[in-house]
């Protein structure tokens, strides 16, 4: 079709490769997408050993690093689960979302408290490491969302 100005072309918006869901979810995609979070987890674990190692509190450092590792494992498992839902195209119910989250957090809590009791009193560091990692992961997730909402 030609107009006085020139040919009319349909403008279609192409999706970027990162927004197109893959056919199958993969662990490597989750790891690739969460690189910054993984680096932060390693830095936190290294900082625990660096600071507490100088104070000869190696067990406490290991428990804090273990808490960070449990937090990272929980974070990556959650991201994989979300990627699996997105790529499948299904619409999960609230009940399914709640049950999945409840089971995952229940397993995480039982493991964390069990290890904390096993290594008591240094085991409390595991719960501390888990809490610190969760807080930092939450901030790392929230800040980009807030920036996106701020920019029209």
Q: How far apart are CA 47 and CA 92, in angstroms?
A: 39
**Closest by CA position to 128, among listed 74, 75, 62, 73:** 62
126-132: average pLDDT: 90
Query: Of the segments 9-13, 32-36, 113-117, 140-144, which one has the largest average pLDDT value?
Result: 113-117
Question: Cα–chain-centroid distance for residue 30?
Answer: 9
Tokens of 91: 């619409």
Provide φ and ψ at 2, rounded to 5°.
-120, 135
Look at residue 19 and tell me whether its pLDDT is greater than 80.
no
The model's pTM is 0.74
Q: What is the pLDDT of residue 5?
A: 52
Q: Give the 3-state secondary structure of residue 2.
A: strand
- H helices of 92-123, in order, are 94-118
Q: What is the pLDDT of residue 84?
A: 85
Question: Do you know the residue count of the chain?
Answer: 152
Tokens 């680096």: give the residue: 39
Classify residue 68 as exposed, middle or buried by CB count within 10 Å of its CB (0-12, 13-18, 19+).
buried
Read off the DSSP letter of residue 22: P
Q: How far apart are CA 45 and CA 140, in angstroms?
A: 17
Look at residue 11 and tell me whether its pLDDT is greater than 80.
no
Q: Is residue 104 within 8 Å of residue 74, measured between CB atoms?
A: yes
pLDDT band at 68 (very low <50, low <70, confident <90, very high): very high
Q: What is the pLDDT of residue 17?
A: 46
């Amino acid at each position: 079709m030609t107009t006085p100005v020139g040919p009319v072309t349909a403008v279609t918006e192409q999706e970027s490769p990162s927004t197109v869901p893959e056919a199958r979810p993969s662990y490597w995609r989750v790891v690739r997408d969460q690189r910054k979070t993984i680096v932060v987890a390693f830095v936190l674990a290294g900082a625990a050993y660096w600071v507490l190692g100088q104070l000869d509190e190696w067990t406490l450092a290991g428990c804090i690093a273990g808490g960070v590792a449990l937090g990272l494992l929980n974070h990556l498992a959650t991201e994989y689960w979300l990627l699996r839902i997105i790529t499948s195209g299904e619409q999960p119910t609230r009940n399914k979302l709640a049950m999945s989250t409840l089971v995952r957090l229940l397993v995480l809590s039982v493991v964390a408290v069990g290890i904390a009791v096993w290594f008591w009193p240094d085991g409390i560091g595991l719960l501390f490491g888990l809490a610190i990692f969760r807080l930092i992961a939450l901030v790392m997730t929230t800040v980009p969302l807030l920036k996106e909402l701020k920019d029209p």
